[in-house]
Amino acid sequence: MKLLIFGATGGTGRQLVEQALAQGHFVIAFVRNPAKFHVTHANLRVAQGDVLRYDTVEPAVTGQDAVLSALGVHPPVFTFIVVTVLCQVAARLLALHGVAAWSVSLGIPLLALLFLFRRNTKLSDGTRNIVRAMHERGVKRIVCQSSLGVGDSRGRLGFLYNFFVIPLFLRNLFADKAVQETILRESALDWVIVRPTALTNGPRKGVYRIGSGIGHWFFLTKISRADTSDFMLKQLAGNTYLRQIPSLAY
């Protein structure tokens, strides 16, 4: 098959590219910065573009048999941690007290939190462009990675994610993933939305759980990006999960 893969420079995207090539598919890797993509293969072509620009998405979609999306947004958690630590150090080095100490050690990190993790609609806007191009070019099948914790799977990523990570750092990202899913569900495409639990860089095992009741409110479940990609590629043929949203975990 001729496959177009969005998000090819990410962890899951690279796995999709490598596994698809190993299975004999012809692959176009859609990337914004080719310098960050280091896979080479006779059946691989790199298409430079921006998923937020329709004029670069449509030419890449043209002539493909199916599309796989592993689009992602990387929350600036490290930047927030650095800002917080520097503010704590500054408050102590400057011997600040009272309101001044609270403003530096707490106020600035809170402002950074609001700024760094403000609403980002890249996933939904990009998916809207992909869906439009697929409709225009007559490409029907799309397999898209979302996440456990979105939609009716909310609260199934374990205590740490449910009560700390998502509310503080990923709330807007998960809201955008929900919009992304809605765009696909309301399209006329042959879509499969995949919701993996917490992703790891572990090896492909080929054995994992698939279903709608996966996850737990307290315990964190995991699955590797390699096995997530394995499942996604299997959805290119067959209709077992067509227009469904299966979750994945070990």
pLDDT digits (tens, 9 = 90+) for 124-156: 999 999 999 999 999 999 999 999 999 999 999
In this structure, are 109 and 128 located in the same domain? no
In this structure, are 111 and 216 located in the same domain? no
In this structure, are 166 and 135 located in the same domain? yes
In this structure, are 70 and 127 located in the same domain? yes
In this structure, are 211 and 241 located in the same domain? yes
CB 30 within 8 A of CB 6: yes
> What's the CA gap between 187 and 136, in Å, rounded?
12
In this structure, are 98 and 168 located in the same domain? no
CATH number of residue 134's parent domain: 3.40.50.720
In this structure, are 92 and 143 located in the same domain? no
Q: Please give the single-letter amino acid code of residue 120.
A: N
What global pTM score does this model have?
A: 0.91
Neighbours of 219 (CB within 10 A): 10
Neighbours of 23 (CB within 10 A): 12
Q: Which of the four pLDDT bands, split at 50, 70 and 90, describes residue 32?
A: very high
In this structure, are 201 and 83 located in the same domain? no
Q: How many structural domains does the chain have? A: 2
Of 182, 180, 197, which is closest to residue 247 (Cα–Cα)? 197
In this structure, are 165 and 135 located in the same domain? yes
Indicate if the pLDDT at residue 11 is higher than 90: yes
Indicate the helix (H) or strand (E) that contains 27: strand 26-31
Indicate the helix (H) or strand (E) that contains 6: strand 2-6
Gyration radius (Cα) of the chain, Å: 20
> What's the CA gap between 239 and 250, in Å, rounded?
23
Q: Looking at 85-228, which runs of residues are DSSP E strands? A: 141-145, 190-196, 198-200, 209-211, 222-224
Residue scoring higher pLDDT (100 or 28): 28
Indicate if the pLDDT at residue 1 is higher than 90: yes
In this structure, are 98 and 169 located in the same domain? no
Last residue of a domain, one of 115, 134, 167: 115
Q: Please give the single-letter amino acid code of residue 210.
A: I
CB 201 within 8 A of CB 12: no
Reduced to 3 states (helix: H, G, I; strand: E, B; else coil), residue 129 is helix
In this structure, are 84 and 8 located in the same domain? no
HSE-CB for 165 with a 13 A CA cutoff: 14
> What residue numbers bound the domain in which 94 lies?
77-115
Please give the pLDDT value at position 116.
81
In this structure, are 22 and 106 located in the same domain? no
Last residue of a domain, one of 89, 115, 141: 115
By the 10 Å C-beta count (0-12 exposed, 13-18 middle, 19+ buried), 190 is classed as middle
> What's the CA gap between 40 and 96, in Å, rounded?
55
Please give the pLDDT value at position 198.
97
Give 171-206 pLDDT, tens digit per residue: 999 999 999 999 999 999 999 999 999 999 999 999
Last residue of a domain, one of 86, 115, 144: 115
Which residues have a Cβ under 8 Å from the Cβ of 130 and sit 6 or more positions away? 6, 51, 57, 61, 67, 69, 142
Q: How far is CA 217 from CA 17, 175, 224, in A?
A: 33, 19, 20
CB 142 within 8 A of CB 130: yes
Which residues have a Cβ under 8 Å from the Cβ of 95 and sit 6 or more positions away? none
* Strands 26-31 and 190-196, sheet pairing: unpaired
